[in-house]
Amino acid sequence: MTLMSQLENLETMIVKGRVPGTARTLVNLDKISTSIEEMKTEMPTQINEAEGILRQKDAIIKQAELEARRIRAYADEEATTIRQLAEEQSNTLLTTSQEEARKMIEENEITRAANEKAAKIETDADKRAAKLIDDAETRVNGILNDAETSAEQRRKGADNYAREVLFTLEERIADTLGQVRGGIDLLDARPTSNVAD
C-alpha cells in the first residue's frame, strides 16, 4: 500500500468518526496507530527513491564527462592527424618546387625565367602550406568547441532532469507530512477518553 493511500485511509477514519452536530471526532486509536506505523515504515522507501534519483544524476554526469573526454581525445587525435598531413603536404610541395627550381636553373637557356618561376612556385607553395595549416587549426578548434558544447548540454540536461524529479518528490513528501501533521493535530485536539468504534 502506498504512502498516499495510507494517508487517505487515515483521513477516512477521522472523517467517519465525526460526531454529528459537534466539532468532536471519535476514532479507534489502535487503527490510527497502526496506520501511522505503516506510514513510518513507508517513509524510508520514499527517501531511498530520492537517493536513487541522485545516484542516477551522478551516473548521467559521469557518463557525460566520459563522453566529453572521449570526444576531446578523438578531437586531439584528429587535430594531430590533420597537422601531420598538412605538414607532409607542405614538405612535399616545397620539395617539389625546389626540385623544379633546380632543374630550371640547370638549363642555361632560360636561367632567369627559371629563377622567377622557381620563386613563384616556392611562394605559392608557402602560401598553400600556410593555408593548409590554418584550415587544419580551424577544423581542430571547431571539433573542440563542438565537444565542449555537447558535454555542457548533457551536463545541464542531467541537472535539470534531477532537479525536476527532486522538486516533484519534495512536493509529494511535503503534502504527505502536512496530512500526517493534520492527523496528529486532530488526535491531539480530541478529548482524553478513548472511545472505540
Mean pLDDT, consecutive 10-residue segments, the chain of 197 residues?
76 80 80 83 75 89 93 92 91 88 72 78 88 87 86 87 88 89 87 57
Looking at the domain assignment, is residue 194 inside a domain? no
pTM of full prediction above 0.95 = no
Whether residue 196 is contained in a domain is answered as: no
Q: Is residue 85 part of a domain?
A: yes
- pLDDT at position 190, please? 80
126 occurs within a structural domain: yes
Domain that holds residue 32: 3-189
Instruction: Specify the pLDDT at position 197.
Output: 47
**What does the buried/exposed string (b/e) look like for 54-90 if buried means 16 or more CB atoms within 10 Å of the residue's CB?**
eeebeebeeebeeebeebeeebeeebeebeeebeeeb
Q: What per-residue confidence (pLDDT) applies to 66? A: 93
Tell me if 110 is assigned to some domain.
yes
The whole-number pLDDT of residue 193 equals 59
Give a yes or no: residue 197 inside a domain.
Answer: no
The domain tally of the chain equals 1
Whether 31 is covered by a domain: the verdict is yes
Please give the helix or strand (H or E) that residue 126 lies within, else none. Answer: helix 111-189
pLDDT for 110 = 66
d(CA 33, CA 51): 28
